[in-house]
Amino acid sequence: MTYIEETADEGAGRAHLLRIARELADDLATDAALREQAGKAPFDEVARLREAGLLTLLVPAEHGGGGADWRTAYAVVRTIAAADGAIGQLLGCHLFLSFSPRFFAGPDLAARVERESAAGQWCWGGGIASHEPRLTLTPTADGYLLEGHQSYAAGVTVADRLVVRAARSDTGEPLAVLIDPAHPGVVCGSDGDTFGQRLAAGGSVEFGSVPITADDVFGSLSSDEGALSPFAGLAAPTSRLASAQFCLGVAEGLLAEAREYGRTVDSSWPPASRQSWPGRPPQDPYVLTAYGELAVAAHAASALADQAVDALICGLARGEDLNDDECAEIAVLAGAAEASASRAAQEITTRALDAIGARAASSRHGFDRFWRNARTHTLREPVGDRLREVGDYFLNGAHPPFTLPS
């Protein structure tokens, strides 16, 4: 695969969007700890994303959106996650789900939905992971009826539209379905009892005889061989790289705050371990080594994620010309990047608190929210399956199964 060069206009548009994301991230960071402790539904935060134009950044310009690519979208998610992990995850899930019609719907339906989404500035939520309990889609004379309970879906308390996985009652085929959560048959519950990601707006959803039109059904989510095109198979690595960017953002966010804090306070290590050099402030070799190791972990995970993003961008550009082997290569690389970022986030958000010391336990600093946000996410997306897929591909050349994150 070859690297796709960026035009001057694309570069300027990317720089503009990243500048907007940094400004919003700076705004979110000012009261992130207080908002996280309050745990209110993030309606205001979604309004800020909408006002900044970040909800529509992947929608083509001709459909009323920002016309950005996934390289830019991932950078925006990472920037926001560094300031507020829950909002970064909310945005990442929204971007993937709002892009899903391009993977699973026909081009005409995908274009129509994107135009409506841009015009309405929709915030998307939901979830199409295969491990969720089956929702049932029963055919009727006018379309379908959707029924069932989904234990966890992203962004449900603030979403304007939901995308869920439902199986036809007659054939069992899993389909991606678009729903307006304002329908009286849809009942959303918050996920407010989690110790992290309190502002990610996740929760359960109950569907009671919700009418679904044929135009609200995007297409198959079957993992059976040949059911999906290789291009549709890119949905899995696309979503896994959003997860990786979230992890990297949270890790880098805590490292940045710990660095600023460490420059203004004395070392937390015992006095006997401290060492001074002429003309320099006290430099604790243990703390310096710890931060060096954490910086290396962040850089390594970031480099692997960048490599995976480059491969995905090339795969998306190939469109329907993409073959199964190329899709599998991208999926394995994305899985490796997600596993590496997940491990880096867990290590960094734990050990950085050790380097700060006992003062990291003070709630006024809010350092703990980085660890809680990262750990909540990595519990929902454990790395074991990704490592097994990478190992099976390395040893046996086996293509990863089509699975999507929760």
Residues 191 and 236 grouped into a single domain: no
The answer to whether 117 and 123 are in contact (CB under 8 A) is: no
- Which positions ≥6 away from 171 have C-beta within 8 Å? none
pLDDT band (50, 70, 90) for residue 360 = confident
**In which residue are the tokens 């309606």 written?**
43
| 354 vs 102, residue with greater confidence | 102
The arithmetic mean of pLDDT across residues 173-189, rounded, is: 94
Q: How far apart are CA 158 and CA 123, in angstroms?
A: 7
Per DSSP, the three-state class of 368 is helix
| 382 vs 210, residue with greater confidence | 210
Please give the sequence-ordered ranges of beta strands (E in DSSP) within 57-202, or none if there are none.
Answer: 124-127, 135-139, 144-153, 161-168, 174-179, 186-190
Mean model confidence pLDDT for the chain: 89
Q: How far apart are CA 43 and CA 201, in angstroms?
A: 9
pLDDT computed for residue 114 by the predictor:
97
The arithmetic mean of pLDDT across residues 76-93, rounded, is: 97
pLDDT computed for residue 353 by the predictor:
87
Q: How far apart are CA 167 and CA 134, in angstroms?
A: 7
CA dihedral 189, 29, 35, 55 (to 10 degrees): -30
Answer yes or no: is 402 within a domain.
no
Residues 133 and 154 grouped into a single domain: yes
The arithmetic mean of pLDDT across residues 142-164, rounded, is: 93
The answer to whether 152 and 202 are in contact (CB under 8 A) is: yes
The length of the chain in residues reads 406
Q: How far apart are CA 99 and CA 214, in angstroms?
A: 19
Residues 282 and 148 grouped into a single domain: no
Answer yes or no: is 406 within a domain.
no
Residues 251 and 374 grouped into a single domain: yes
**CATH at 309:** 1.20.140.10
Asked whether residue 380 carries a pLDDT value surpassing 50, the answer given is yes
Answer yes or no: is 378 within a domain.
yes
Residues 136 and 78 grouped into a single domain: no
Residues 234 and 325 grouped into a single domain: yes
What pTM value is reported for the model? 0.91
Residues 303 and 377 grouped into a single domain: yes
Q: What stretches of 150-234 show up as alpha helix (H) in DSSP?
A: 230-233
Q: Domain of residue 164: give its range.
A: 126-220
**Euclidean distance between the first and the last CA atom of the chain, given in angstroms as a whole number:** 29
| 238 vs 358, residue with greater confidence | 238
Residues 263 and 139 grouped into a single domain: no
Percentage of residues of the chain with pLDDT beyond 90? 71
- How far does CA 27 lie from the centroid of its chain? 20
Residues 318 and 339 grouped into a single domain: yes
Answer yes or no: is 203 within a domain.
yes
**CATH at 215:** 2.40.110.10
Q: How far apart are CA 187 and CA 204, in angstroms?
A: 8
Q: How far apart are CA 183 and CA 66, in angstroms?
A: 29
Domain total in the chain? 3
User: What is the tens place of the pLDDT at every residue in 25-54?
Assistant: 999 999 999 999 888 999 999 999 999 999
| Domain termination residue (choose one: 220, 253, 279) | 220
User: What is the tens place of the pLDDT at every residue in 265-321?
Assistant: 654 545 444 444 444 444 678 888 989 999 999 999 999 999 999 999 999 999 999
pLDDT computed for residue 278 by the predictor:
44
pLDDT band (50, 70, 90) for residue 24 = very high
User: What is the tens place of the pLDDT at every residue in 217-255?
Assistant: 999 998 887 789 999 999 999 999 999 999 999 999 999
Answer yes or no: is 293 within a domain.
yes
| Domain termination residue (choose one: 156, 190, 220) | 220
| 1 vs 136, residue with greater confidence | 136
Answer yes or no: is 3 within a domain.
no
Asked whether residue 137 carries a pLDDT value surpassing 90, the answer given is yes
Residues 63 and 132 grouped into a single domain: no
Containing H/E element for 218? strand 217-220
The arithmetic mean of pLDDT across residues 72-92, rounded, is: 97
Copy the structure tokens of residue 318: 């190939």
Q: How far apart are CA 87 and CA 41, in angstroms?
A: 11
Answer yes or no: is 404 within a domain.
no
| Domain termination residue (choose one: 62, 90, 123) | 123
Asked whether residue 99 carries a pLDDT value surpassing 70, the answer given is yes
Sign of CA dihedral 352, 357, 361, 363: negative
The answer to whether 255 and 294 are in contact (CB under 8 A) is: yes
pLDDT computed for residue 4 by the predictor:
41
Q: How far apart are CA 216 and CA 166, in angstroms?
A: 12
Asked whether residue 3 carries a pLDDT value surpassing 60, the answer given is no
The answer to whether 97 and 125 are in contact (CB under 8 A) is: yes
Containing H/E element for 286? helix 285-318
**In which residue are the tokens 């920002």 written?**
66
Q: How far apart are CA 45 and CA 63, in angstroms?
A: 24
Percentage of residues of the chain with pLDDT beyond 70? 91
pLDDT computed for residue 92 by the predictor:
97
Residues 272 and 384 grouped into a single domain: yes
Residues 326 and 383 grouped into a single domain: yes
Least confident range from 3-7, 236-240, 329-333, 346-350: namely 3-7
**CATH at 47:** 1.10.540.10
Answer yes or no: is 194 within a domain.
yes
